[in-house]
Amino acid sequence: MTRSMLLLALVAVIAPSSSACSPPVRGPLKLVELDSGCMVELRIGDKLEVVLEANPTTGYLWEMVSKDVTVVKQAGEPQFEADSDAIGSGGKVTLRFEAVAPGEELLQLVYHRPFETDLAPVNTFEVYVLVK
């Protein structure tokens, strides 16, 4: 067997089959702080996850400011994962959203203490969402 024939046989074994019966499974679109200000395009039913730095033990939390949930709605409660086992340690919070109808929406999140109504948020996250 020549070297080129051996290479072709190896590629045929390793390469994925193009005759798949179902499309590949899609996971949620994940965004981080650096994605703030960008635009994302979703289809109805698509999931969006926003992962941001947080420390809820200080009283600060991320909340959705935009109350128009006709295009994108929050799916469940934010989930916090600490960076360490130390009491009071910071970490990352994941907020999940679902595209529910065609349209456009500016998804705005603020990092603040909800009981400090007279102070500006410590941080903000915005993403323009287009749902088709």
pLDDT tens digits, 9-24: 333 333 333 332 233 3
Structure tokens that stand for 21 in this block: 């019966």
Buried b (16+ CB within 10 A) or exposed e, 86-112: eeeebeebbbbbbbbeeeebebbbbbb
User: What is the domain count for the chain?
Assistant: 1
pLDDT tens digits, 51-65: 999 999 999 999 999
Please check whether residue 12 lies inside any domain of the structure: no
pLDDT band at 69 (very low <50, low <70, confident <90, very high): confident
Please check whether residue 108 lies inside any domain of the structure: yes
Please check whether residue 21 lies inside any domain of the structure: no
Please check whether residue 124 lies inside any domain of the structure: yes
Whether 52 contacts 112, CB under 8 Å:
no
- CATH number, residue 69: 2.60.40.2020
pTM of the model: 0.77
Please check whether residue 6 lies inside any domain of the structure: no
Please check whether residue 82 lies inside any domain of the structure: yes
Whole domain around residue 81: which residue ranges? Answer: 26-131
